[in-house]
Amino acid sequence: MNSKALPRRSKLSDVAKAAGVSPATVSRVLNHPDIVRPDLQAKVRRAIAELGYAPDAMARALSLGRSNTIGAIIPTLGMTIFANGTVALQKRLREYNYTLLIANAEYDPERELEEIKVLLERGVDGLVLVGDRMSAEALALARQYQVPLVTTYVSESQFSVPAIGIDNAEAMHQVLQMLLDLGHREFGVITVYPAHNDRQQARRQGVFAAFEAADIPLAAHRIAEVPYSVAHGRTAFKRLITADPAITAVICSSDAFAIGALAECKYLGLSVPRDISITGYDDVDISMHTDPPLTTVNVPAAVIGRLAADHLVATLNGRPPPLTTKLPAQIIVRGSTAAPRSARKS
C-alpha cells in the first residue's frame, strides 16, 4: 500500500535497525526501561530522537487489548457546568496517563447511543455518562464490551450503574427551606421540559418533594416547564407572574431560566428581590454579575469530573470504589432573594 516513497513515518523496527538492536528491545525501552541495559537504552533513545519516532497508539492498543482511553458522552458542550466537569475529568485522566475522548450527544438519546457505539468500537477502556437515563441498550453494549461505566451529576442511577453527583433533591429542599425561612409562601417554579433530561428531572422532583414535605400546595399554573434557554426562562416567568401576581418567589431549575426571569423582571418593572425573589441552579460564572447577583446552587462539577476519573481508573485496576458518591450541593446566597413584601410589612 505504501506505493509512495515520501518521508515515511518511522516505526519501531526502523528504530531497532538504526540502533542496531531487536524490535523487542526498543519496545522494552519504551515500556519496561528498568530491564534493559543502560548503554543499549541510550542508543535506542538516540535513535528514537533522530528518527522522530512516535509509537502507533492503535497498533499498541490492538496488541495490548486496551487503549488507555476513556470516553465521555456529554449532553451538550454549551453548558459551562459540563464544560468544567469535562475539563477536570480530562486533566485527572491525563495524570493517570489516559486520554479522554469527548463525544457530544446534544441531548438526543439516539445520538447518545450512537456515540457510545462509536466510542466502544474505537476501543475505549471506560465510559463516563451524564445522568440517569441511560438506555438499556447502552448498558447491554457496555456489558458486552466489558467496559466499566460511571455516570455523573446524579447521585443514584436506576440500573445500579456507579454514580457520582450531588443530591439534586436535597439541594432543592434546601433552596425551598431557605425561602420558607425568609417568609415566602407563594411560589412559582420554572423547570426544563422533562424530555431526556433526568438531572433536571431530579431537580424538578426534588422541588415537588420538598413542597410536599413542607406541606405547601403548588398549583399547576404555578409550574412552567420549558426548553432550556434564557429566552424560554424569560417567557416562562412572564407567564407565571401574569397568571398569578401573588407569587413572591420563583425557583428556577437552572441559572439560564433565572437570568431570563431577571431580564423579564426588569422589563416588567419588577424589582428583585423587593417585589420578587428568584433562585437559579448551577452557579454559572455570570450569575455573580447579574443585577442583582443571583442566589443559586453550586454544583461541584470539577470535583465530579475528578472523581469520575478516579473511579474509572480504580475500577480498571481491579479496585472498584463505592457504588455511589454523593457530593453536597452548596447554596450560594446572593442578592436575588430576600423576605417577601408581606413579611416585611407585617
Partner DNA sequence: TTGTAGGCGTTATCAC
Partner DNA sequence: GTGATAACGCCTACAA
Residues binding its own copies (CB under 8 A): 1, 6-7, 9, 52, 54-59, 61-62, 65, 67, 69, 76-78, 80, 83-84, 86-87, 90, 99-104, 106, 117-118, 120-123, 143-146, 229-231, 234, 259-260, 263, 266, 285-286, 288-291
Is residue 52 a contact point for DNA (CB under 7 A)? no
43 vs 203, beta carbon nearer DNA: 43
The interface region with DNA, picked from 8-16, 170-178, 188-196, 252-260 by CB under 7 A, is: 8-16
Among 42, 59, 243, 246, binds DNA (CB under 7 A): 59
12 binding partner (options its own copies, DNA, none; Cβ < 5 to 8 Å by kind): DNA
Question: According to CB under 7 A, which one of 42, 49, 64, 231 is a site residue for DNA?
Answer: 64
Q: Which of 56, 110, 244, 285 contacts DNA by CB under 7 A?
A: 56
- First CA to last CA across the chain, in angstroms? 86
CB nearer to its own copies: pick between 7 and 322: 7
Q: Which does 11 bind (CB under 5 to 8 A by kind): DNA, its own copies, none?
A: DNA
| Alpha carbon distance 81, 264 (integer Å) | 24
Residue 144 sits in the site that holds DNA (CB under 7 A): no
Residue window 239-258: x/- pattern of binding to DNA, with contact defined by CB under 7 A: --------------------
Q: What is the largest CA-CA distance in the chain?
A: 92
Question: Does residue 119 belong to the site contacting DNA (CB under 7 A)?
Answer: no
Binding site for DNA (CB under 7 A): 1-2, 9, 11-13, 20-25, 27-28, 30-32, 35-37, 39-40, 55-56, 59-60, 62-65
